[in-house]
Amino acid sequence: MSNSQGLDQDVCYRAVKSRDRRFDGTFYTAVRTTGIYCRPSCPAITPKRTNVRFYPSAAAAQGAGFRACKRCLPDATPGSPEWDIAADVAGRAMRLVADGVVERDGVEGLAGRLGYSSRQLNRVVTQTYGAGPLALARARRAQIARVLIETSPMSLTDVAFASGFSSVRQFNDTIREVYASTPSELRGRRFSGSASGSIGTRIAVREPFAFAELLAFLALRAVPGIEAARDGWYERSLRLPHGPGVLRIEGRGDGYVGCRFTLADARDLAPAMERTRRLLDADCDPTAVDEALSGDLAALVEARPGLRVPGHVDGAELAVRAVLGQQISVAGARTLAGRLVAELGEPLALDGDHQVTRLFPSSTALAEVDPESIAMPRARGRALAGLCRALADGGVVLDRSADRADVRTSLLALPGIGPWTADYIAMRALGDPDAFLPTDIGVKHAAERLGITDVGTASEGWRPWRSYALMHLWAALSSPATDQEDGDIR
């Protein structure tokens, strides 16, 4: 028996009986007799089969009148991996909802970004997730509010507006309806010691989580001025809808990563958190990925369980840096990007104790730069100029709202953009879990060490997680290659 969203109710019930955490976020269990919905791994006594129904999203469970369980906190579970993986219009809509587009532009604006009417979009999203864009946005606001209430020292009024509610009354009513508790009751104890103008919170992640490897990847590529990294922390500037911000990743616990945000406008907290989730690849299902790759990559997976594909907080910035790094070393790409930041980056102008000082230059600013003035080969300079013009005029969109295949086609149509660059952008800027770079020198060297003679053919067996296979191959190199056939900013 399946419900209207394609969930097999009997399969879901077997998963609930196993209390397997791998299913957390992929569906939600609602108990008719208690009016509560839970994550599949909830430690409570398993309800009778006749008393439960299953929903594909927290918003769908809430829309059916169920409240979040206070024991397993189902809203604290990262969003379903399908939200981040699906390349269809519903998946792209979900990513924009998570980034706060509904709060900023309404459902009409969301639909316009996707090329649909609001009526069409509501039908498609409801069929997939059991709730429309407004309900999904409301559930997301409630989730962010709960995290802020329980992990930050912000006043409840500030929490209301930072999480996207239009009024304190709406905030109070929603929290009471979703959690059967008032905001004051959820708070429990207050936190202290927050720096002025900064918000400390945490991002939920699925375990296992290779945190040290992710930080090392980011630190190796940190561009002076916009990024800084030391042992155990990473910091970078953010260009957000209402102003600049700074993100600092500062440690982790079981199932979460600690973060601190310094923002010019508290309304940007939700999109800042969502972009941090992308950077951390927080919605990855690591157990499913590791199991799928535990064939000829078993030794690599065993050495680094839960290895992530680092995303990026700004698709346009990532694309520019990809072109800058074509055919030069990681260090060379970082140096060249640092010069652009120093010359064209906007001063951060944000109070607070942070190591970063500037924002990465906007696509519009870079499109106006004479490519001859940049210390790089002329052909690559022209490629950079063409990319920046396409980004500035909307010919290429890298905010995860566009179809990945269409974006790849648009990128390859630009002079100087080859498959390596297009697929690297798809992997990190668009969150494509199945991108692969068979011509990459590092990939070839790592495959040779494993005795894989034809890595392109072998990679077919790693679908749909080839991006993660790629990260394992790169991580396996004791000393990364310094040059690539079509780029090197690994």
Percentage of the chain surpassing pLDDT 90? 68
Taking residues 334-349, report their average pLDDT: 94
Output the pLDDT for position 6. Answer: 67
Output the pLDDT for position 4. Answer: 41
Is residue 393 flagged as an active site residue?
A: no
Output the pLDDT for position 83. Answer: 67
User: If you write DSSP's letter for every residue of 303-351 in order, what string do you get?
Assistant: HSTT------S-HHHHHHHHHHTTTS-HHHHHHHHHHHHHHHPEE----
Domains of the chain: 9-58 (3.40.10.10), 82-151+154-187 (1.10.10.60), 201-476 (1.10.340.30)
| Distance between CA atoms of residues 109 and 104, nearest Å | 8
Output the pLDDT for position 231. Answer: 87
Output the pLDDT for position 370. Answer: 85
Q: Please, how many CA atoms are within 13 Å of residue 304, restricted to the half-sphere of its CB?
A: 21
Taking residues 117-137, report their average pLDDT: 93
Tokens representing 217? 């990847």
Contact (CB, 8 A) for 269 and 161: no
Q: Is the pLDDT of residue 440 over 90?
A: yes
Taking residues 447-467, report their average pLDDT: 94
Q: Is the pLDDT of residue 332 over 70?
A: yes
Residue 5: band (very low, low, confident or very high) from pLDDT cuts 50, 70, 90? low
Residue listed under structure tokens 């980056």: 345
Q: Is the pLDDT of residue 482 over 60?
A: no
Q: Is the pLDDT of residue 376 over 70?
A: yes
| Distance between CA atoms of residues 337 and 344, nearest Å | 10
Choosing from 99, 432, 434, 440, which is the catalytic residue? Answer: 440
Q: Please, how many CA atoms are within 13 Å of residue 70, restricted to the half-sphere of its CB?
A: 12
Q: Is the pLDDT of residue 488 over 60?
A: no
Work out the mean pLDDT of the chain and round it to a whole number: 89
Q: Is the pLDDT of residue 196 over 80?
A: no
Question: Which residues make Cβ contacts (< 8 Å) with residue 468, sequence separation at least 6?
Answer: 284, 289, 293, 307, 308, 309, 433, 462
Percentage of the chain surpassing pLDDT 70? 93
Residue 67: band (very low, low, confident or very high) from pLDDT cuts 50, 70, 90? very high
Output the pLDDT for position 481. Answer: 41
Length reported for the chain: 490
Per-residue pLDDT tens for 15-51? Answer: 899 887 778 888 999 999 999 999 998 999 999 999 9
Residue 216: band (very low, low, confident or very high) from pLDDT cuts 50, 70, 90? very high
Q: Measured on CA atoms in the order 113, 119, 122, 126, is the torsion positive or negative?
A: negative
| Distance between CA atoms of residues 360 and 337, nearest Å | 9
Per-residue pLDDT tens for 238-284? Answer: 999 999 999 999 988 888 999 999 999 988 998 999 999 999 999 89
According to DSSP, the residues that pair with 306 across neighbouring strands are none
Output the pLDDT for position 478. Answer: 59
Output the pLDDT for position 487. Answer: 42
Q: What is the pTM assigned to this prediction?
A: 0.84
Choosing from 12, 24, 38, 84, which is the catalytic residue? Answer: 38
Output the pLDDT for position 74. Answer: 86
Question: What is the DSSP pairing of strand 256-263 with strand 243-253?
Answer: antiparallel
| Distance between CA atoms of residues 41 and 280, nearest Å | 23
Is residue 388 flagged as an active site residue?
A: no
Question: What is the DSSP pairing of strand 346-347 with strand 358-359?
Answer: antiparallel
Q: Omega of the bond prior to 464 within 30 degrees of 0, cis?
A: yes
Residue 377: band (very low, low, confident or very high) from pLDDT cuts 50, 70, 90? confident
Q: Which helix (H) or strand (E) holds 215?
A: helix 211-220
Tokens representing 365? 């600013």
Q: Is the pLDDT of residue 80 over 80?
A: no
Output the pLDDT for position 378. Answer: 86
Residue 369: band (very low, low, confident or very high) from pLDDT cuts 50, 70, 90? confident
Output the pLDDT for position 1. Answer: 35
Highest mean pLDDT among 4-18, 176-190, 316-330: 316-330
Tokens representing 308? 């992530």
